[in-house]
């Protein structure tokens, strides 16, 4: 049976591995795989499928709408009329809002507001997650699960037997996959 657990890279992971070895799980049956974190720069445009929550167009659209409304209101008394002044207010508000968002992010750093679990600097091994795989007998499962939960695992799962599928869904041991 395979038991999988997710940990932060911390002393609890080391304690869990040491405790499993003391309780009779061979070192060869324990595998720890650190996961790489995504390292990427701030995107200018967010899409519906990929959004980092730090859009540069939020402030531009808000300020553009406010200045457009003021341009339309005061355009009734100005020479070019409400439509032209509304468009001028929209464009100038959008440009000013974009520049404020851009330079505010550069000066004060939006990266400080990001969740440390989602983004890290390249080469930084803090806050990385580790997947721990333990191969054990069915009789040892309860003990392994307890050790993993006691050492602050994020989640624990088990796989009774390893299923692998090839091409058309047939199992590799000659039996049909369920």
- Whole-number Å distance between alpha carbons of 53 and 114: 9
Q: Are residues 130 and 150 in the same domain?
A: yes
Q: Which residues pair with 135 in a beta bridge?
A: 2
Domain boundary among 94, 113, 132: 113
pLDDT confidence band for 54 (50 / 70 / 90): low
Residue 141 CB-density burial (10 A; 0-12 exposed, 13-18 middle, 19+ buried): middle
Q: Are residues 68 and 106 in the same domain?
A: yes
Q: Domain with 8 in it: what CATH number?
A: 3.30.70.120
The beta strand positions in 15-169, using DSSP E, are 30-34, 129-135, 155-159, 165-166
> What number of CA atoms fall less than 13 Å from residue 97's CA on the CB side?
20
Q: Which structural domain range is residue 70 located in?
A: 58-113
pTM of the model: 0.49
| Share of residues in the chain with pLDDT > 70 (%) | 66
Task: Tell me, yes or no, whether 177 lies in a domain.
Answer: no
Task: Tell me, yes or no, whether 44 lies in a domain.
Answer: no
pLDDT tens per residue across span 77-125 = 989 999 999 999 999 999 998 888 878 766 665 544 444 444 444 445 5
Q: What is the mean pLDDT of residues 155-178?
A: 60
Q: Are residues 33 and 72 in the same domain?
A: no
Q: What is the pLDDT of residue 48?
A: 59
pLDDT confidence band for 60 (50 / 70 / 90): confident
């Amino acid at each position: 049976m395979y038991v999988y657990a997710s940990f932060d890279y911390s002393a609890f992971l080391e304690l869990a591995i040491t405790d499993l070895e003391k309780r009779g799980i061979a070192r060869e049956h324990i595998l720890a795989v650190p996961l790489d974190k995504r390292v990427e720069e701030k995107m200018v445009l967010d899409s519906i499928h990929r959004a980092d929550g730090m859009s540069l167009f939020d402030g531009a659209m808000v300020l553009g709408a406010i200045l457009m409304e003021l341009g339309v209101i005061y355009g009734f008394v100005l020479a070019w009329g409400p439509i032209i002044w509304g468009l001028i207010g929209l464009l100038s508000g959008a440009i000013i809002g974009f520049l404020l968002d851009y330079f505010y992010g550069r000066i004060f750093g939006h990266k400080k507001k990001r969740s440390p679990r989602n983004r890290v600097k390249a080469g930084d091994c803090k806050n990385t997650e580790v997947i721990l795989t333990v191969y054990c007998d069915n009789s040892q499962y309860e003990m392994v699960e307890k050790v993993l939960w006691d050492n602050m695992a994020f989640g624990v799962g088990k796989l009774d037997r390893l299923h692998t599928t090839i091409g058309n869904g047939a199992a590799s041991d000659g039996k049909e996959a369920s």
